[in-house]
Amino acid sequence: MRNGRPAKRLALLALALAGLGTPLAAAGLDVQRIAHARFGNDAPWYVDRIPLFESADPQIDAVYYYRWALFRAHQRDLGADGYISTEFLDDVSWQLEPYASLNDATGFHLGEGRWLRDRRYADDYIAFMYARGNDRHFTDYMADAVYGRFLADGDRIGATRYLAAMRRLYRAWDDHYDASKGLYWVEPLLDATEYTISSIDASGGKDGFRGGDSFRPSINAYMYANARAIAALSRMVGDTQGAADFVARADAIKARVQRDLWSPTLGHFIDRYKVNNEYVKYWQPIRGRELVGYLPWTFDLPDDGARYAGAWAHMIKPDELRGPAGLRTVEPSYQYYMRQYRYEGTQEECQWNGPIWPFQTTQVLTGMANLLDHYRQSVVTRSDYMRLLRQYVALHYQGDRLDLEEDYHPDTGRPIVGLARSHHYFHSGFADLILTGLVGIRPRMDDVLEVNPLLPAAGDPQALAWFRIQDVPYHGHSVAVTWDVDGRHYRGGAGLTIEVDGRRVAHRDDLGRLSVPVTRVRAPIIDRPIDQAVQLVRNGYPKGSASSNTDPEAVHDAIDGRLWFFPELPNGWSSAPSPATQWYAVDFGKPVAVSRAELAFFADAKTFSAPSAYRLQAWIGEGWRDIDAVSDRPIGNGITRARWKGMTTSKVRLLIRQPSGKRTRLAEIKIF
């Protein structure tokens, strides 16, 4: 569980306080310049929301901003139910209908979203998942992620309001608990990891998509983390009995994982079979090491000591889990390593018998950051951490184009699956790794800001000479952290500096830990305007209609609550290439109060551009009438806004005039 270690850390407060109240250590980053350079016409969304970051490594910087664009693209607006984060940009057959939610990556989504200054996205998502979204389709560590959000934003009420739902959901997993072993089990597919050693071997090497039920380090680490989070939140509301119950649950899981899922032979945490058949036997250990064996460290489960820390040696050995392009999910010594079982047509499909997965790469880097931050060990170094982080950065690139996909070949770093659904996949984290690992902000439940960058010393090939992150929300304050090895880049002095609300509060001349007191400030009230135009259920209200291209899916796409400008996967309604006025209309099915609209037009260098002109109409009486609106100039790949005096109507229509030779793609129309 992520928590502070106050006795050790507060010893550094004297050093921190020495700089309290002195002027800003370094000039702030140019918000507008960076946002427009990274996001073009869509810059306004990011300016008021994301922490800005720059470093001596331009590839890390580019991926950092790409990952925020990825985050934005996966925020689906459900209308009255608020925003959720999706895993795939578009629909897949196994999602929860009609929302398109999946719970396996929720921990990553919340880990990223906790660093936004706009708290609505994470707040809405948590509310949705505890109300109806978490169907236990997959294992997850959602309670831990909610607690992790509290550690960053300090909002006790926002975290504790879901305690009853957390407890119910936790107890629902009793159907995957073996009381005789004191451990949880799961089918690997429902752990979001099909074709593992346990599922392949349980089939006799014939398949592995289904089956292979086993006691896994993953589900047990998740349940440990969730129990610890529920215990901490219970203490916050004065429920000592409830806290004691979940502390006991967590302690019991920890003891059983360390006793029974640790393999002295392999020197690693491994699966044991729950299934009993002609190929494998109940409680038999699997026969090889998998990357999932590091997940206990993601949640600080293992005891501090050489016995368990030795497992990390396997991650840096080229013939074991360290691949040329990234972390293998299974070692090459496994009999069925990289054997391809599953296809969609001729295209290879998802498997976890060796490929690199950003999902587990994120979890392992999080666990490694924990190991380097507060475990005593000498197996892996900060240089190892940065090397792995840079390998992960490289996976985001397809040539010179940024596009994170599902899984990758460990020898080449090339995508394996590469289906249409695979583009810009939100099944992992990155911004949280930069903030908590590279920069080293270690969120805590007390009123202390702790920073410990996981950078190697100057002269190491993996070192960074400088970085700055700013506009980081922490316990109601705005935080900035600057590292400048010799003071030449920012001209504010050499070393590590922390600023809170624009004032320098801590400094040291070298890399290392800094801790400063921060008085918690009440979280701001969240503004929640409701988009009246979202169509969740096809053929239900609101309904769209159009002057051309009346394909039902295209018409639905413009009001489905999804918005992205990535060109790889078309999204929205595309007009005919005609000089005639084109239109798109929304029928609400009832009178609604409306006063503004947000229009998102996709543009590229070839076919699509923003309209040359547009206007809005409302259905008044028995016909369409122009709305007297104050309207922005239409732009591509950003938000065009129109505002008018409030009115009540049952329909709104957008009319557009297209530039000669161009078409219009309406990625989304929102009406408030």
Q: Are residues 648 and 558 in the same domain?
A: yes
Residue ranges of E strands in 418-513? 448-451, 466-474, 477-484, 495-500, 503-508
Per-residue pLDDT of 283-293, as tens digits, reads 999 999 999 99
Residue 337: name the closest of 419, 417, 425, 411 by CA. 411
Per-residue pLDDT of 445-479, as tens digits, reads 999 999 999 999 999 999 999 999 999 999 999 99
Confidence label for 379 from pLDDT (cuts 50, 70 and 90): very high
The reply to whether 580 falls in a domain is: yes
| Token pair of 602 as six digits | 């996709």
Query: CB of 558 within 8 A of CB of 669?
Result: yes
User: Residue range 538-555: average pLDDT?
Assistant: 98
Rounded Cα–Cα distance for residues 220 and 234 (Å): 21
Rounded Cα–Cα distance for residues 269 and 259 (Å): 10
HEC secondary structure over 539-575 = CCCCEEEECCCCCHHHHHHCCCCCCCCCCCCCCCEEC
Residue given tokens 């008085």 in the structure block: 519
Residue 171 above 90 pLDDT?
yes
Query: CB of 390 within 8 A of CB of 410?
Result: no
Rounded Cα–Cα distance for residues 140 and 155 (Å): 22
Among 517, 535, 566, identify where a domain stops: 517
User: Residue range 594-623: average pLDDT?
Assistant: 98
Measured in whole angstroms, how far is the alpha carbon of residue 547 from the centre of its chain? 38
For residue 619, give the CATH number of its domain: 2.60.120.260
Alpha-carbon distances, residue 550 vs 536, 538, 572, 602 (angstroms)? 18, 14, 12, 18
Query: CB of 453 within 8 A of CB of 115?
Result: no
Confidence label for 485 from pLDDT (cuts 50, 70 and 90): very high
The reply to whether 100 falls in a domain is: no
Rounded Cα–Cα distance for residues 499 and 487 (Å): 16
HEC secondary structure over 477-492 = EEEEEEEECCCCCCCC
Q: Are residues 452 and 357 in the same domain?
A: no
Q: What is the pLDDT of residue 18?
A: 44
Confidence label for 16 from pLDDT (cuts 50, 70 and 90): very low
What is the domain count for the chain? 3
| Token pair of 458 as six digits | 């100057």
The reply to whether 498 falls in a domain is: yes
- Residue 607 has a CB neighbour count (10 Å cut-off) of 14
Is the CA virtual torsion 588, 594, 598, 601 positive or negative? positive
Q: Which residues are CB-neighbours of 450 under 8 A, at least 6 positions away?
A: 4, 9, 441, 442, 444, 513, 514, 515
Long-range pairs, 317-323, Cβ under 8 A, ≥24: 320/289, 321/289, 321/291, 323/356, 323/410, 323/411
User: Residue range 308-313: average pLDDT?
Assistant: 99
Q: What is the pLDDT of residue 26?
A: 66
Residue ranges of E strands in 433-476? 448-451, 466-474
Rounded Cα–Cα distance for residues 255 and 262 (Å): 11
The reply to whether 488 falls in a domain is: yes
Query: CB of 493 within 8 A of CB of 508?
Result: no
Among 400, 418, 438, identify where a domain stops: 438
Rounded Cα–Cα distance for residues 654 and 616 (Å): 5
Q: Are residues 432 and 453 in the same domain?
A: no
Query: CB of 116 within 8 A of CB of 198?
Result: no
Residue given tokens 């002027």 in the structure block: 23
Residue 547 above 80 pLDDT?
yes
Q: What is the pLDDT of residue 117?
A: 98
Q: What is the pLDDT of residue 27?
A: 77
Per-residue pLDDT of 132-148, as tens digits, reads 999 999 999 999 999 99
User: Residue range 374-379: average pLDDT?
Assistant: 98
Q: Are residues 433 and 379 in the same domain?
A: yes
What's the pTM?
0.96
Q: Are residues 368 and 410 in the same domain?
A: yes
Among 438, 461, 482, identify where a domain stops: 438
Q: Are residues 512 and 552 in the same domain?
A: no
Rounded Cα–Cα distance for residues 229 and 232 (Å): 5
Does residue 3 sit in helix, strand or coil?
coil
The reply to whether 506 falls in a domain is: yes
| Token pair of 2 as six digits | 């992520």
Q: Are residues 587 and 649 in the same domain?
A: yes
Rounded Cα–Cα distance for residues 478 and 137 (Å): 37
Q: Are residues 434 and 454 in the same domain?
A: no
Per-residue pLDDT of 507-524, as tens digits, reads 999 999 999 999 999 988
| Token pair of 354 as six digits | 């060796």
The reply to whether 244 falls in a domain is: no
Q: How far apart are the first and last CA of the chain?
A: 41
Alpha-carbon distances, residue 127 vs 88, 162, 530 (angstroms)? 20, 8, 15
The reply to whether 642 falls in a domain is: yes
Residue given tokens 């590292």 in the structure block: 483
| Token pair of 82 as six digits | 């608020």
- In the chain, the percentage of residues whose pLDDT exceeds 70 is 96
Residue 290: name the closest of 311, 264, 259, 260 by CA. 311
Rounded Cα–Cα distance for residues 590 and 531 (Å): 15
Residue 225: name the closest of 288, 145, 123, 327 by CA. 145
Q: Are residues 424 and 470 in the same domain?
A: no
User: Residue range 313-337: average pLDDT?
Assistant: 99
Q: Are residues 422 and 355 in the same domain?
A: yes
Long-range pairs, 239-248, Cβ under 8 A, ≥24: 239/163, 242/163, 242/167, 246/170
Residue 353: name the closest of 430, 287, 276 by CA. 287
Query: CB of 185 within 8 A of CB of 134?
Result: no
Query: CB of 325 within 8 A of CB of 408?
Result: yes
Residue 642: name the closest of 657, 626, 658 by CA. 626
- Per-residue burial over 527-538, b if 16 or more Cβ lie within 10 Å, else e, is eeeebbbbbbee
Per-residue pLDDT of 557-602, as tens digits, reads 999 999 999 999 999 999 999 999 999 999 999 999 999 999 999 9
Q: Are residues 481 and 602 in the same domain?
A: no
Per-residue pLDDT of 17-68, as tens digits, reads 444 444 444 679 999 999 999 999 999 999 999 999 999 999 999 999 999 9
Alpha-carbon distances, residue 166 vs 131, 134, 141, 148, 659 (angstroms)? 11, 11, 11, 14, 53
Query: CB of 91 within 8 A of CB of 421?
Result: no
Residue 290: name the closest of 359, 353, 225, 341 by CA. 353
Confidence label for 98 from pLDDT (cuts 50, 70 and 90): very high
Q: What is the pLDDT of residue 343?
A: 98
Domain that holds residue 419: 303-438
The 8-class DSSP code of residue 291 comes to: G
| Token pair of 625 as six digits | 């009438």
The reply to whether 239 falls in a domain is: no
Rounded Cα–Cα distance for residues 461 and 386 (Å): 10
The chain-wide mean pLDDT, for the chain, equals 96
Query: CB of 377 within 8 A of CB of 303?
Result: no
| Token pair of 569 as six digits | 């996967």
Residue 168 above 70 pLDDT?
yes
Q: What are phi and psi of 504, to 5 degrees?
A: -70, 125
Query: CB of 129 within 8 A of CB of 143?
Result: no
Does residue 215 sit in helix, strand or coil?
strand
Q: Which residues are CB-neighbours of 569 under 8 A, at least 6 positions away?
A: 89, 90, 420, 423, 424
- Residue 23 has a CB neighbour count (10 Å cut-off) of 10
Q: Are residues 403 and 467 in the same domain?
A: no
